[in-house]
Structure 1
Amino acid sequence: MNVKLLQKATSGILVVGIGVGANLTNFSAVNAQIRPDKTIKIRHKNQTESILALSIEEQTNIRVYQRANQAVVSIDTDKTNGSGTIISADGMVLTNAHVVSQGGIVQITLADGRKVKADVIGFGEKGLDLAVLKIRGETNLPIIRIARPGYTKVGQRAFAIGNPFGRFQGTLTVGIVSRIDRERGLLQTDAAINPGNSGGPLLNSAGELIGVNTAIFTRGQLGGNIGIGFAISIDRVPEFLTAVREGRAPLVAQQQAAMFDEQLAKQLELNALIEVKGNLDRESNVLPVDNSYYDLYAFEGKAGQKISIDMSSNQIDSYLILLNSNDQELAQDDDSGGEKNARIIITLPEDGTYKLLANSYEAGESGEYQLKIEAISPRIRPFFERERINYYR
């Protein structure tokens, strides 16, 4: 929020094996009637009548989507994209603080495709990853009702709607509430959540808001969804909304922006080879969602520069996370270095500051580690090729 428990609604698009397996060209329903026995009778033009029966679960999915989708928006800033929930007819939108961390004015895309402007009018305090926007000039918008706090249960159905990867607005995914972390105010769900879902709603079977999607737990360098997502519980929302309405909520996301502040990082000079020894313990930084320890490093990189990053230890399960200057995830890894060692090999996409988290896989793991960062020189081409070919690609 994106990344191993950092949720960032950001960045590039990965398209994996998407195909259309059904031909719906000849399906043309002229009218449909819902019968008392819960089936739908569909009359086809120039075809014999057929019966399409929907299960109770399917009917619930459709009902939730129809009730809620028109009140889910896509949010775009200069650096990120995410989702949000309209909670008042005059245009108040609930989302994540990290989606709109720069504050000011953002662009909203409504479910009907209209693009409107919105102002950030409040952020959560003490690390609460929530923000409220106010859409300009709207008075009769559809809304999603907020569920009663304290009534969400493990095992109940959960529905997520949002704009994954900033490309698929209005996407519905379905799962259950897998776990409730009351101490940190988080709901865990297996409903698929991906970058771009950040700030969007997690709903119950009545189409009511039970959480604000904020993070995923993932493994490997691709950082995709593996069925462990997190939403801020609705129990944390009413007090925050009261502060916003009374004008007491901060207008700057100070604590969110400072989470991976490069000024707090250990600075590294990226030459041919860097070797660092470190130790993760109770004095280290703590990743909020899974309580794992990490050390933060920063270095300057160049576009097209290929680097190898290794983290090894015989005391902890090493985990690496690489971010760009905007805290957008570029790569992460658990065991590519062999056994419990981590490795990332990557070609840097741009000039600028990069941030590296030397992390433990499990919460509370303590121990020493070794970090090695090596600049891998590109193959040197003959001089006459250098004028015509960018040999870093």
Structure 2
Amino acid sequence: MNKQLLRLVAAVVLAGGSLLTLETGLPCFYSNPVLAQGREKLAAEDVYEQASEAVVTIYTGRGSGSGFIINADGLVLTNSHVVENAPRTVTVVLKDGTRLPAEVIAFGDKNLDLAAVKIRSQDNLPTIPLATANSVRVGSEVYAIGSPFGKFSGTFTRGIVSRLDEEEKQIQHDAAINPGNSGGPLLNAFGEAIGVNTAFYSSRSRNTGISFAINLEQVESFLVAVQSGETPRLSAWKNSTSPRSLTLDGEVVNGSLRDGDETLWDESFFDVYSFEGWAGQQVIIEMVSWELDPYLILLNSDGTILTKNDDWRPGDPNARIIITLPEDGTYTVVVSTFKSEQSGDYTLRAYN
């Protein structure tokens, strides 16, 4: 689990074959705006050939939807309504039919229909870059790829941007989408994602030429929250097995994080505990280990992250949270590690 800005080198393959390498705090999901100038628009068939390999179908066991891969390590964007009632592990199917297990790792807030899914143990998957900000104009040609009705994977449709809804931060377009297209990309004429398809207007469950995609402004904010571990709801504990009870009397709880345990988005193992608290109550939570670098996350009853801690104090890698609870309710403590795949024993205690 990250405690400082990561220095990550991200290479994004552009339409012209050049590489953009950036050293930033977050992986780069975008095309190079400088090199993008002067590019020629692609023919429709070339847009499909370039983008379709990175469009996936997501099967939850209760339904299906679409999504698209935005980094080679297997981070997939989709709609929250595609996976909100899914078990923690879903199946992602690539264009060639390869079926891969994946985990639902993050949701947008209640007003943002976005979710992130992580395909595990991958490092060379095809991707779709995000377009540069403010590049969408009414009248621009757009394309959609998805799996309508969960049966017709790789379906390609085209249209134009009909309207930009600045208040709702949506792109209205007339490329045909239907149930099952949800979560798939809306693409520009360079094969870049300019939005995430989310809905269409209809009174009889068929497309009427009015479709909507979530715009890049909201997508970008969501990705920042995912990468920093600050999404309002993370399915890693939302859909986990029942948390262990944690008392606030200082009793020491012994636990361990091992290979085979559930993992967070960065592949760090975790355990989940819960306790009852009330507004104004001060609570101290401590995690200690000689075998791993402890990391604590505290969530309120709706899954919102209240606070997190890595180092107790300078030179001490153990974790400690001191907080005055904001409301009555059930609180969740996520016990994890600073680095991915660390394992070992730990102790946990909470008191007031």
TM-score bin (small chain): 0.5 to 0.7
Match among 90, 104, 112 for residue 120 of structure 1: 104
Within 2, Cα distance between the matches of 1:58 and 1:139? 29
In the alignment, what sits opposite 2:156?
A: 172
Within 2, Cα distance between the matches of 1:59 and 1:122? 33
Letter in 1 for 2:72: A
Letter in 1 for 2:224: T
Deviation at 1:127, TM superposition (A): 1.1
Where 1:106 maps in the other structure, the secondary structure is: strand
Within 2, Cα distance between the matches of 1:181 and 1:252? 28
Deviations 1:263-316 (A, max 9, x none): xxxxxxxxxxxxxxxxxxxxxxxxxxxxxxxxxxxxxxxxxxxxxxxxxxxxxx
Within 1, Cα distance between the matches of 2:177 and 2:211? 6
Matches within 5 A, 1:1-393: 60-103=43-86, 104-219=88-203, 222-252=204-234
In the alignment, what sits opposite 2:25?
A: none
Where 2:71 maps in the other structure, the secondary structure is: coil
| Gap regions ≥5 residues in structure 2 | 1-39, 236-352
Kept in 1, the 8 Å contact 2:143–2:156? The answer is yes
TM-score (norm 1): 0.48
Where 1:87 maps in the other structure, the secondary structure is: strand
Within 2, Cα distance between the matches of 1:223 and 1:244? 32
Where 1:197 maps in the other structure, the secondary structure is: coil
Within 1, Cα distance between the matches of 2:134 and 2:72? 25
Deviation at 1:58, TM superposition (A): 11
Deviation at 1:59, TM superposition (A): 6.2
Aligned length: 195
Kept in 2, the 8 Å contact 1:124–1:249? The answer is yes
Letter in 1 for 2:160: I
Letter in 1 for 2:53: Q
Within 1, Cα distance between the matches of 2:43 and 2:91? 32
Where 1:205 maps in the other structure, the secondary structure is: coil
Deviation at 1:250, TM superposition (A): 3.1
Identity %: 52
Letter in 2 for 1:136: R
Letter in 2 for 1:235: E
Within 2, Cα distance between the matches of 1:81 and 1:214? 13
Deviation at 1:238, TM superposition (A): 1.1
Within 2, Cα distance between the matches of 1:211 and 1:86? 13
| Gap regions ≥5 residues in structure 1 | 1-56, 254-393
Kept in 1, the 8 Å contact 2:142–2:161? The answer is yes
Within 2, Cα distance between the matches of 1:243 and 1:59? 32
Kept in 1, the 8 Å contact 2:146–2:181? The answer is yes
Within 1, Cα distance between the matches of 2:164 and 2:74? 30
Kept in 2, the 8 Å contact 1:102–1:252? The answer is no
Within 2, Cα distance between the matches of 1:71 and 1:81? 17
Kept in 1, the 8 Å contact 2:108–2:233? The answer is no
Kept in 1, the 8 Å contact 2:142–2:187? The answer is yes
Deviation at 1:251, TM superposition (A): 3.4
TM-score (norm 2): 0.54
